[in-house]
């Protein structure tokens, strides 16, 4: 019985190690040739979120404070067919490994765009946009913490002052 528990524990631990996140995908694919990659750090989000002048000059006041909680934004794009297949496959694997829910799907002339979110009742912890054309794949991942009520406020277009 002790051996079975040990094997089960090791198996679960190895699965956790294999589970990917946005940072893992970014680190893997950003080093490939024929891949465009952009990373926006939490420090940048805090800096932008703290820009009082921006809040006063735009209608973004209801949005700006919320991005301070973002842990990172990862953008990966490629037009290389082999990389596109691999990137798309690993993105789908990531989506299946967590409790992401499809929020939106759009299809037009061979292009498909999906937007997914991982959330609880109170907050959203991750957004993923996965777009695939015949010869291109784009992946945008935003990891962070947005309160559901704040997102509702942002979506309504009525920032609370």
Domain boundaries, the chain: 20-156
**Alpha carbons 25 and 33: distance in angstroms, whole number:** 15
Three-class DSSP category at 158: coil
Q: What is the pLDDT of residue 48?
A: 74
Query: For residue 13, what pLDDT band results from cuts at 50, 70 and 90?
Result: very low
Asked if 60 contacts 110 with a C-beta cutoff of 8 angstroms, the reply is no
C-alpha 40/C-alpha 142 separation (Å) is 9
Q: Which residues pair with 111 in a beta bridge?
A: 108
End-to-end CA distance of the chain: 60
106 band by pLDDT with thresholds 50, 70 and 90:
very high
pTM above 0.85, yes or no: no
Distance from C-alpha of 14 to C-alpha of 56, rounded to nearest angstrom? 49
147 vs 153: CA distance, rounded Å:
10
Task: Copy the structure tokens of residue 67.
Answer: 């991005």
Closest to 37 measured CA to CA, from 83, 105, 82: 83
Which of the four pLDDT bands, split at 50, 70 and 90, describes residue 149?
A: confident
Quick: pLDDT tens for 76-93: 999 999 999 999 999 999
Beta strands 100-108; 72-78: pairing state: unpaired
In contact, 122 and 148? CB cutoff 8 Å: yes
C-alpha 104/C-alpha 115 separation (Å) is 5
């Amino acid at each position: 019985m002790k051996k079975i528990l040990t094997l089960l524990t090791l198996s679960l631990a190895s699965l956790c190690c294999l589970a990917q996140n946005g940072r893992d995908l970014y680190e893997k694919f950003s080093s490939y040739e024929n891949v465009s990659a952009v990373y926006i750090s939490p420090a940048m989000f805090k800096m932008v979120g703290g820009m009082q002048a921006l809040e006063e000059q735009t209608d973004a006041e209801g949005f700006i404070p919320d991005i301070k909680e973002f842990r990172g934004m990862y953008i990966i794009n490629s037009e290389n067919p082999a990389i596109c297949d691999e990137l798309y496959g690993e993105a789908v694997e990531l989506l299946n490994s967590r409790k992401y829910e499809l929020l939106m799907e759009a299809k037009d002339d061979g292009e498909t765009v999906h937007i997914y979110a991982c959330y609880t009742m109170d907050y959203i912890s991750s957004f993923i946009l996965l777009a695939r054309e015949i010869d291109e794949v784009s992946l945008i991942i935003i990891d962070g913490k947005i309160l559901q009520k704040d997102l509702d406020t942002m979506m309504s277009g009525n920032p609370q002052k």
